[in-house]
Amino acid sequence: MEGDLLLLHVANFSTLLVCMVLKLPQIVVLMRAKATNGVSVTSLLLELTGFIVFVSYQMYYDYPPPTYLEYPILIAQDVILLILILHYNRNMKHSLIYAVVFVGGWKLLTMEKWIIDTAMSVCTLISAGSKLLQLQCLWRSKDSAQVSTLTWALASYTCMARIFTTMVTTGDTQVLIRFMAMAVLNVWVTATVIYYKPSTKKRD
């Protein structure tokens, strides 16, 4: 029992620590390259949506804060990434629209229990869709120079850690399924990013 409790604290703390810098490698890569090749803005928007739904669900049901504390940090980092992508793609005029939609949606989620429950039931599909769109973007461009391998590898770790913490704390089946699916997809994206890196990409 004490061993599980120690592992729980380690998993929670390490996940929070990793998530504090999770998107920084990707942010740095974009700022250096000033280009967004291989980075899917649609994927990022879906990921942001999934994060907002997930943290709203956890807060609505008063789950222990250590099990979702990293999500506000991830949301903030995703917002920075989105602004950078819009800036480098010269689409900053869309930023206000996105802001209104996300803030309004966030408020709407917690108005009724059935709304947050329904949103959570499709959250895994939304988040999975974001990963699949990123994979599709990489397959099409065959270029991951502007995609951070470290960011995706760290994301894989945090999902695996959250599988453990969820099993030990809430045991919520929907949350477990989400983290399992995300772990598999994050590993897949990580492998694809490595494959398409200019220095390691296979040549015909």
DSSP string, 20-35: HHTTHHHHHHHHHHT-
Is 143 part of any domain? yes
Whether 193 has a pLDDT exceeding 80, the answer reads: yes
Is 164 part of any domain? yes
Is 149 part of any domain? yes
How many distinct structural domains can be found in the chain?
1
Whether 157 has a pLDDT exceeding 90, the answer reads: yes
Q: In this predicted model, what pLDDT tens digit does every residue of 86-134 receive, in sequence order?
A: 999 888 888 888 888 888 888 888 788 889 889 888 888 999 999 999 9
Is 141 part of any domain? yes
Is 200 part of any domain? no
Residue 154 has what pLDDT?
Answer: 94
Report the mean per-residue pLDDT for the chain. Answer: 88
Domain containing 66: what range?
2-195
Contact 134, 43 (CB under 8 A): yes
Which tokens hold the place of 77?
């980092």
Is 79 part of any domain? yes
* Residues whose CB is less than 8 angstroms from the CB of residue 170 and which lie 6 or more positions away in sequence, other chains included: 63, 64, 67
Is 25 part of any domain? yes
Is 203 part of any domain? no
Q: In this predicted model, what pLDDT tens digit does every residue of 5-25 receive, in sequence order?
A: 788 888 888 998 999 999 999
Residue 162 has what pLDDT?
Answer: 92
* Residues whose CB is less than 8 angstroms from the CB of residue 113 and which lie 6 or more positions away in sequence, other chains included: 60
Whether 169 has a pLDDT exceeding 60, the answer reads: yes
Residue with tokens 């999770």: 22
Look up the pTM and report it.
0.80
